[in-house]
Amino acid sequence: MKLYKHILLLAVMAAGTLPAMAQVERVAIRTTGISCGTCAAVSELYLKRLPAVDKVIISMKNEAVMVSYKPNSTFVPKDLRDVLKKTEVGVTQLQISAHGKVQDQAGKKFFIAGKDKFVLIAGSNTTQIPTNAPVSVEGIVNDRVDPMELRIMTFKPAETSNK
């Protein structure tokens, strides 16, 4: 039992020194057709049933949905689209907040966030993002292609915690 407590203590201390976990953390979804209370409530219920989803916030006024993911989850836009389609809600845009790294592969730049991989669309700040260093990004996803494309709007070095 004593060994178990020491291992647990070391794990907690080590976790405090690691950079933020690499993954898609949140998705802001612009929608059409989520302007009534019933479709919003049913959409929220369906979204919360997805195993990766932690929290759901719906704004009927803005016809928008914010989905937060559980740790170590994978971003699967098709699941979000399929769930919303059941309530006749359309998806017009997916914007992610994620932690990960930019990597060069076969002459292209990719953003790797945990299990998720996005090819970067050339933009004004894409060349400024450091390669192989932890970063936090906000960007628009095109999930209609494989691999998914990401147009990064903002980025910053990922914060590390030494608490």
**Nearest partner of 116 among 79, 86, 85, 90, judged by Cα:** 79
Task: Report the sign of the C-alpha dihedral through residues 46, 50, 55, 61, in that order.
Answer: negative
57 in the Ramachandran plot: left (φ > 0), alpha (ψ -120 to 50) or beta? beta
Q: What is the pLDDT, as a whole number, of residue 21?
A: 78
Contact 154, 98 (CB under 8 A): no
Task: Report the sign of the C-alpha dihedral through residues 15, 17, 22, 27, in that order.
Answer: positive
Supply the mean pLDDT for the chain. 85
CA distance 74 to 156: 22
CB atoms within 10 A of CB 147: 12
- Residue 162, pLDDT above cutoff 80: no
CB atoms within 10 A of CB 137: 24
Is residue 75 within a helix (H) or strand (E), and if so which, with residue range?
none
Q: What is the pLDDT, as a whole number, of residue 160?
A: 53
Query: Any idea which architecture 23-157 has in CATH?
Result: 2-Layer Sandwich (3.30)
Q: What is the pLDDT, as a whole number, of residue 35?
A: 80
Q: What is the pLDDT, as a whole number, of residue 161?
A: 46
Q: Where are the domains of the chain?
A: 23-157
Interacting residues of 106 by C-beta distance below 8 A, sequence separation 6+: none
Q: pLDDT tens digit string along 125-159?
A: 777 888 999 999 999 999 999 999 999 999 999 87
CA distance 15 to 92: 37
Q: pLDDT tens digit string along 62-101?
A: 999 999 999 999 999 999 999 999 999 999 999 999 999 9
CA distance 89 to 52: 20
